DNA sequence: GTGAAAGCGCTAACAT
DNA sequence: ATGTTAGCGCTTTCAC
């Protein structure tokens, strides 16, 4: 492309600047007409690569030059084209995050803290929702990989074989979250759903005050693992008749009411119930109130997730807490480390969980 | 780049295929090593542009050729590079969506329906959260525009001057939502917050059974407009002492409890209260219950948003409904129409609202 | 229906 | 500290 010679007079470049319009070079081209890095370079009377450096490695450019360039950027209203930048540098500065559902604020919080960390490092997030389906996850991953993200956050450890193949072929850092496995694709940060099911069963059993036990649970992969562990642990204590009500994911307030209603209508009297989300438990509280059942005297409730509201329901909800914000932050840090080729000390990170003992049990 | 001649023998191409590896051409280059469209073209023994057509306009390619190409794609596991495609075609197939907060499921639902429509049309969504701040919105818009989205969804009609400038310079379709203005940047789809404030005041006043009126409201721009209209309308009825409790956005269950507690502690006896979100109202229900106040006899509550749970609280929440899904869908349709240069019949779309009369009033 | 050439806007690599 | 050259992987335009 024709560029004015380097030693163009200062006056000339100033005149161009005050003209305040973008030259088209008079060439027939496919340009969008938008301000490009070349336009800025001409106006600042430097080469394009220097503008590129000013943007990406300002410390490598002389202060004077930097000032000229910044003035030109302001004057033109230049907005970099990251499609072009990403193509040339093979770094898109884009990170994909795949979650089951935005409606579930538990995932929303994970993504929020994840995004926040990565934004600070100059990355943007491409978000996808699977609706708890592995097939949907596969098609999302495939779509998202075509943007050449520098890394990807997954929820869960179960993926279709083709999805795994895509991920491996993409050859980018992958962080799986929300579960644990000894054989992650790359790094996994989460907690054991089996341990949670067992721990809640133990917690309720050892209180020694409930005659009956029940569970209202979604049917997604992880919730079912918790359910199985819960039932088996209780069976180990000699309790063979755990009442079960299953509902489709994602869980809602309404499904919580329905789930409890179903249990009660099928003869569940007084007892303790484990819900697969705080939302379900909250819905059940409304149902209990509507039926004039007292919590925790008639019905003891345990939720999952320790949502911000859980401490403020009336009575306050006993629930299982895991560090949502921590998962997001650690996932971001792990991804960043892998992108920068730093060593990742731990491929499998168990962030654990605690049972928060409040007033519904 | 060196390519084998077109009339390469079939056997030869088959041999390459079964070898199942990607040639590097022996050149020193900056390639990522990933499978490219050129690799697919070579394997299918066609030119790159034909592969491009097969992908983007399959109807323009002969069935036989298409089959060959698809086989090559499958065999290589080719994933298109949309950075390159977007750069070349000046269509990124990316749409930016800017919302105040993901935590607020009202916005989450808007984005969900918006994304769904656009995904069907082959677009992906770049999501950004402003945290209800215009400055944050500006920096987000600026960041997002560097991805060269084909369109952008905004929440609200208030933007900083620089933000407006950026948007205008970007020269892409813009849909503002969640509010109305006679002078949208491009298209606006929403409802009148002033009308809502007025309508709720009228609704409550005309029930003719409340002695006192209050409002618990977030302090974001739109909530304050509703609050003002609510107070002014009541003033028009001769009610001058509306009790007010303001809380920061985004609203939470806890802030709802707190807001109601504050009103009551400052002497609000029996009466009707308008909350700036269902979440706040739900929190207030817990506070009322904790204080043994009866709803709606002691306290009448109106929420906003008609969240899925609103119909299932106990008692069921009276609230203001607007068609969230509709906003998302219409915004998507408007954007698509503008992208395809179709006429947009209406630049200002009022989707209206209704007061859903349930049991808390 | 298919192909050759050119270039989208940027940056890596190698100068100086 | 700054510049030159040559692409990144794709699609447009114009041929045939």
User: Can you give the distance from the CA of residue B54 to the C1' of nucleotide C5 in angstroms?
Assistant: 20
Residue whose token pair is 């929420």: B303
Task: Enumerate the nucleotides of strand C whose atoms come under 7 Å of any protein CB.
Answer: 1-5, 7-13
Q: Out of B102, B126, B257, whose CB is closest to A102? A: B102
What does the pLDDT read at residue A74?
95
Flag if A77 and B148 touch (Cβ within 8 Å). Answer: no
Flag if B108 and A109 touch (Cβ within 8 Å). Answer: no
In chain B, residues with a C-beta closer than 8 Å to the C-beta of A84 are 87
What does the pLDDT read at residue A1?
34
What does the pLDDT read at residue A343?
82
* Dihedral over alpha carbons B81, B82, B83, B84 (to 10 degrees): 70
Residue whose token pair is 């208030």: B158
What does the pLDDT read at residue B33?
73
What does the pLDDT read at residue A33?
72
The alpha carbon dihedral of B185, B186, B191, B192 has a sign of positive
Name the band, by pLDDT with cuts 50, 70 and 90, for residue B104.
confident
Flag if B289 and A92 touch (Cβ within 8 Å). Answer: no
In chain B, residues with a C-beta closer than 8 Å to the C-beta of A107 are none
Burial of B142 (0-12, 13-18, 19+ CB in 10 A): middle
What does the pLDDT read at residue A29?
53
User: Can you give the distance from the CA of residue A62 to the C1' of nucleotide D1 in angstroms?
Assistant: 7
A318-357 residues touching B, CB cutoff 8 A: none
Name the band, by pLDDT with cuts 50, 70 and 90, for residue B29.
low
A117 Cβ under 8 Å from any chain B Cβ: no
Kindly give the pairing relationship between strand B299-302 and strand B271-275: parallel
* Angle of helix A161-170 versus helix A134-145 axis, rounded to 10: 20
Which residues lie across from A155 on neighbouring strands?
A177
Flag if B289 and A169 touch (Cβ within 8 Å). Answer: no
Shortest CA–C1' contact from A46: which nucleotide? D2
User: Can you give the distance from the CA of residue A64 to the C1' of nucleotide C15 in angstroms?
Assistant: 23
Burial of B267 (0-12, 13-18, 19+ CB in 10 A): exposed
Residue whose token pair is 């995050």: A97
The alpha carbon dihedral of A215, A219, A222, A225 has a sign of positive
Q: How many CB atoms lie within 10 A of CB B273?
A: 30
Shortest CA–C1' contact from B82: which nucleotide? D10
Q: Out of B79, B86, B309, whose CB is closest to A252? A: B309
Number of H helices, E strands in chain A: 13, 12
What does the pLDDT read at residue A286?
98
Chain B closest-CA separation from residue A7 CA (Å): 31
Amino acid whose CA is nearest the C1' of D3: A47
Q: Distances from the Cα of A297 to the Cαs of A253, A301, A313, in angstroms? A: 22, 10, 16
Higher pLDDT, B4 or B45: B45
Listed in sequence order, the residues at least 6 apart from B161 whose beta carbon sits closer than 8 Å to its beta carbon are none
Asked if residue A198 lies in contact with residue A186, where contact means CB atoms within 8 angstroms, the answer is no
Chain A closest-CA separation from residue B290 CA (Å): 6
Predicted model pTM: 0.90
In chain B, residues with a C-beta closer than 8 Å to the C-beta of A169 are 34-35, 77, 79
Shortest CA–C1' contact from A81: which nucleotide? C9
Flag if B166 and A105 touch (Cβ within 8 Å). Answer: no
Q: Residue A341: helix, strand or coil by DSSP?
A: coil
Flag if B313 and A77 touch (Cβ within 8 Å). Answer: no
For the residues B305-311, what does the mean pLDDT come to?
Answer: 97
User: Can you give the distance from the CA of residue B33 to the C1' of nucleotide D10 in angstroms?
Assistant: 16
Strand order in the sheet with B124-129: A348-350, A187-190, A174-177, A151-155, A94-99, A124-129, B124-129, B94-99, B151-155, B174-177, B187-190, B348-350
Q: Any idea how long chain B is?
A: 361
Q: Out of B103, B108, B286, whose CB is closest to A312? A: B286
Q: How far apart are CA B345 and CA B56, in angstroms?
A: 29
Listed in sequence order, the residues at least 6 apart from A201 whose beta carbon sits closer than 8 Å to its beta carbon are A213, A229, A230, A231, A233, A234, A237, A274
Asked if residue B359 lies in contact with residue B315, where contact means CB atoms within 8 angstroms, the answer is yes
* B264, pLDDT greater than 90: yes
Task: Give me the helices (H) in chain A, please.
Answer: 10-19, 37-44, 48-56, 63-76, 82-89, 105-120, 134-145, 161-170, 193-207, 221-236, 253-265, 278-290, 324-339
What does the pLDDT read at residue B341?
86
* Vertex B328 angle, CA B91 and B190, to 5°: 115
Could you read off the pLDDT tens digit of each residue along chain A, which spans 361 residues? 333 333 333 333 333 333 333 333 333 456 667 899 999 999 999 999 999 999 999 999 999 999 999 999 999 999 999 999 999 999 999 999 999 998 888 999 999 999 999 999 999 999 999 999 999 999 999 999 999 999 999 999 999 999 999 999 999 999 999 999 999 999 999 999 999 999 999 999 999 999 999 999 999 999 999 999 999 999 999 999 999 999 999 999 999 999 999 999 999 999 999 999 999 999 999 999 999 999 999 999 999 999 999 999 999 999 999 999 999 999 999 999 999 988 888 999 999 999 999 999 9
Q: How many inter-chain contacts (A to B, CB under 8 Å) are there?
A: 133
Q: Which residue of B has its CA nearest to A79?
A: B146
């Amino acid at each position: 492309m024709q560029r004015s010679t380097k030693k163009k007079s200062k006056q000339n470049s100033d005149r161009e600047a005050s003209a305040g319009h973008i030259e088209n070079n008079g060439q027939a081209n496919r340009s969008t007409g938008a301000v490009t890095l070349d336009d800025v370079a001409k106006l600042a009377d430097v080469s394009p690569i220097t503008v590129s450096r000013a943007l990406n490695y300002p410390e490598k450019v002389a202060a004077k030059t930097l000032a000229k360039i910044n003035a030109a950027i302001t004057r033109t209203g230049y907005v970099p084209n990251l499609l072009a930048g990403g193509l040339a540098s093979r770094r898109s500065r884009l990170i994909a995050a795949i979650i089951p559902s935005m409606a579930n604020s538990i995932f929303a919080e994970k993504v929020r803290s994840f995004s926040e960390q990565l934004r600070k490092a100059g990355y943007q997030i491409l978000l996808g929702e699977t609706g708890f389906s592995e097939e949907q996850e596969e098609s999302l991953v495939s779509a998202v990989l075509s943007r050449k993200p520098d890394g990807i956050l997954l929820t869960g450890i179960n993926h279709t074989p083709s999805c795994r193949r895509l991920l491996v072929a993409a050859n980018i850092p992958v962080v799986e979250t929300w579960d644990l496995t000894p054989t992650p694709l790359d790094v996994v940060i989460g907690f054991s759903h089996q341990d949670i099911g067992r721990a809640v069963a133990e917690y309720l059993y050892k209180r020694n005050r409930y005659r009956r036990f029940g569970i209202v649970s979604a049917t997604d992969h992880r919730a079912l693992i918790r359910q199985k562990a819960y039932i088996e642990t209780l069976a180990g204590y000699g309790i063979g008749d755990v009442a079960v009500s299953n509902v489709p994911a994602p869980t809602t307030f309404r499904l919580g009411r329905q789930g409890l209603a179903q249990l009660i209508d099928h003869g569940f009297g007084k007892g303790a119930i484990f819900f697969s989300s705080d939302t379900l438990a909250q819905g059940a509280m409304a149902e209990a109130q509507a039926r004039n059942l007292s919590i925790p005297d008639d019905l003891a409730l345990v939720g999952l997730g320790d949502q911000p509201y859980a401490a403020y329901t009336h009575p306050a909800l006993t629930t299982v807490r895991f560090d949502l914000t921590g998962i997001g932050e650690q996932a971001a840090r792990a991804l960043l480390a892998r992108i920068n080729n730093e060593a990742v000390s731990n491929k499998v990170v168990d962030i654990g969980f605690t049972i928060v003992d409040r007033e519904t049990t």
